[in-house]
Structure formats: structure tokens, C-alpha cells
Structure 1
């Protein structure tokens, strides 16, 4: 399943997080439980259970919900869920630690570490831009940020979700038409720290960055452009975002 902010369960979780930011814990808990009850697939259930867990009053109940989230995540053959394994196992380990079950705590900390920080995603990968490029061209770090004036980027960014690359193309600089290129990393890459384990567990948007160039190997034309209304909402979110870009 492709992660989308238009998904009803994702929307409920975002509303819950908004309530948390306003210190309205009871309202947030209700929204996360609503997301759990309305979830219809493994990804939605995993996501909702993760948030229900953090509103439990006692550690045993929290552990039960964390294990439930993990069970659903393990069913999903998708990097959107796999990227959450380290944080899921770490949270389970912390719960065992709080219960003074140190053997199970160590076991789960070791599992969290075993997944490491390097992405297992094999792509295909995409980069959105308004630049007119050709197969074989290289995209390199050092360009200006699309989101913060005057900031030179130390990495080149890409994603495994074609529609996410399309959205990036909308916000890219330039006067050309929006393009989504299929790219191959020429070196190592990492989860984008600006989105990974921020609002959502792991890296569900499958967003990555590299200091090495990306090689263009083709162009994707089957991506879906968001509506003008949704794009305006994104612009509003970006304008209100006061967080610093991790460069």
C-alpha cells in the first residue's frame, strides 16, 4: 500500500497528533481508537495501533498495543512498514525494561539494532523537478532548497513513491513543466532525517537522500498530480512549518 496523506486513517492519525500538540490527550486518544476501529488493512491497523499504544495508562497495556502494531507491520511486505521495525522493537524493549523484564528488553533492543539504519529499499526510485533532463544525466547535491531560501543542500533527495516525486516537482524551482524522472543512486543513501520517525513511525513516504549523484535512467509519466486544492493545503502547511531543515 502506498502511503498517502489523503488516506482516511492517516488523516485521523494526523488529527490525533494535532490534538496531542494542543495537550488534548483525551481527544487524541479517541481519534487514534477511531482510526484503529476503521482500519481495513494491515498498514492502517499497524499505524493506528502504534498511536493507540502511546496513550495507554499502564505499561502492560502499552506493550500489548505495541506488539499488535508489530504483528501487523510484520505482515506487510513493504518498505513503508519495514522502516518502522527499529522504532517498534525499541519501544517494545523499553516497555519490557519498565516492567523489569530485562531478558526480553535486551532481546528486543538487539532486534531493533539488527535492522540497522541503512534502508533496505530496492526502488525503483524517482526524483521530481521542473528541469528538462536526459537519460544519463546526473543529479548532484548542492542545489538550492525548494523550501528554505538561500539554503544550499548537501544531499540530493529522492523517493520510491512516484506520486510523492510528483508533488516534489510541483514545489521545485523553475518555469518548466513538472517532470518525474526514474533515477538510480550511484552511491550509498540514507533515510531522509527530515521525515523519518517524525510524525509517523519509520519512513512511510520512502524518502531518501544521498551525497552521491543520482543517474537518470528514464521518465515516469503515470504519476497522479494532486488537486489544486490539495496543493494549496500543502503550501499552507509548508508556510506554517517552523522546523529547521536537517541538511
Structure 2
């Protein structure tokens, strides 16, 4: 069974809080939050995420290597297809540490391991797309629409996810007055990890978010997902309003 990324998980929320402190320049408090996440983690999934963020904060290369290898070991203990999306990033960071330590053999070995985990996603779904549009089974969702987050931007890809709650969030934030809908879809062509989320806040593509230039065919409609409360929806709109980052289109 694939582990599902849960933004309401206490360890993930702690790490998000730490990253917010980090982005405001408060590195000392951010590190303390990541240490708290590590100590409160209850399983290898939570430890893998907390260790990764602790690794990023280390000044000493030896300490950075120790925490990055700890993160990798926890990820490997899980042996989950979704978590494997982080392997390439973890091996790459480990390789860079060995390179700085002038250990060329271990650096080369880890660079090779990093490259071996790159490539097209192997996720088999099921896949979902969240929207407020009233559509039918058999309809095609195509690229070229306006971004929900930057109205002036025409999207070159159509986005989807294997996380039904992620699709539900997209539906809640989508433009339009219709009811929130989550459609079950199948890609009609090749797809890739969404670069706007992959390796950004967390290693790999833990949210199982993808995009394609080819249409997505609607094959059904999902009715059960975690709905956003009015407060949560308001908080998400505030976050989006403050986000000045560029969308990789």
C-alpha cells in the first residue's frame, strides 16, 4: 500500500512551520523546530522527512552527511513506491557531501545511484483532477487553460494527482461558482512530475503531483475526500496571495 502524504500530519506541519521560519531568516528557531519534529516522529516516514530538513540546516558537512544518510535509511526502511521518488534527491545530496569531503569514490557511487532513480514516474494511480467545471465521463481535460493562481498565465500543461485530497484542495481553490468536483482521470500520453512541487519543500514528489501536455480523459467522479473548512480555505487563499514564486510552466 502506498503511503499518502498528509499535510495535517503533526510532523509535516512542524516542518512546514520550520520552513516558514527559515524563509524569514530565523535559522536558529527553524532548526529547533526541525529537531522537535525529529524527536516527536513516531515512524520511519516521519523520521525520513524530519532528518532531511535537519540535514539541510547543518553547517558541518559531516553532520549534513550523517543526517542525509539517516533520512535515506528511514526512506529505504519504508520501501514505498511513492517515497522512492525522493531517492534521487537524497543520493544526490549525499554525493555532494562526499565530494566536499574529497571522497571521490563514495561521491561517484552516490551520483550514479542518484541518476539510476531519475526518469519518468512509475505511479499507476488512480489519478484525480479537481475543478469546479461540470464535466462528463469521456470528456477530455486539455492544457491551455488559465492558471488558478496567476490569472494572466496560460498553462502549457494539464495537472493531476494520485492524492484524492490534493485534488479536493485544487477543486476548493479553483475559479468558478460551481460545486467542487474531483474527477477520476486517465492520462492519454506521457506525464512528468510537477516541477512546481517536486523537490521544493520536501524531497521527491511525495504529494504525487503530475502534469502532461496530452489530454486527461475523465473516467469517473470521486465523491469522498476531505473537504476544506471555511477557515482552511481562507488560509489557503491568503497563502496563495502572499506567494510571489514563479510558476514553472
Is the pair's TM-score, using the shorter chain for normalization, greater than 0.5? yes
1:111 counterpart (107, 110, 113): 113
**Does the aligned pair in 1 maintain the 2:173–2:233 contact within 8 Å?**
no
In 2: Cα distance, 1:156 partner to 1:8 partner: 31
2:242 maps to 1:240: yes
Deviation of 1:225 after TM superposition, in Å, equals 0.5
Task: Spell out, residue by residue over 1:37-72, the C-alpha distance to the aligned partner (whole angstroms, 9 max, x if none).
Answer: 001122110000001112223222211111110011
Q: Given the alignment, which residue of 209, 219, 222 partners 2:221?
A: 219
1:26-175 equivalences under 5 Å are 26-175=28-177
Give the match for residue 183 of structure 1: 185
Give the SS at the match of 1:83.
helix
Q: Distance in 2 between matches of 1:75 and 1:217?
A: 35
Q: Once superposed, what is the RMSD of the aligned Cα atoms?
A: 1.2
After the TM superposition, list the runs of 4 or more consecutive aligned residues in structure 1 that deviate by more than 6 angstroms.
Answer: none
Offset from partner CA, 1:153-186 (integer Å, 9 cap, x none): 1100000000110110111122221110111111
Equivalents in 1 of 2:80, 2:197: separation in Å? 18
- TM-score of the superposed pair, with normalisation by structure 2: 0.95
SS at match of 1:168: helix
The answer to which of 73-82 and 11-20 deviates more is 73-82
Q: Distance in 2 between matches of 1:239 and 1:2?
A: 27
Contact 1:79 1:206 in 2 (8 A): no
Partner of 2:207: 205
Q: Please give the alpha-carbon distance, in whole angstroms, between the structure 2 residues aligned to 1:94 and 1:196.
A: 19
SS of the residue 2:220 aligns to: strand
> When the two structures are superposed, what TM-score results if normalisation uses the length of structure 1?
0.96
Distance 1:243 1:62 in 2: 27
Q: Is the 1:63–1:92 contact (alpha carbons within 8 Å) kept by the matching residues of 2?
A: yes
Q: Which runs of 5+ in 2 are unaligned?
A: none
Return 5+ residue gaps in structure 1 as ranges: none
Kept in 1, the 8 Å contact 2:159–2:212? The answer is: yes
State how many pairs are aligned.
247
Question: What secondary structure, in the 3-state scheme, does the structure 2 residue paired with 1:181 have?
Answer: strand
- Does the Cα contact within 8 Å between 2:172 and 2:228 map onto a contact in 1? no
Offset of 1:79 from its aligned partner? 4.2
Q: CA deviation at 1:200?
A: 1.4
Question: For 2:57, what is the secondary structure of its paired residue?
Answer: coil
- Secondary structure of the 2:70 match is helix
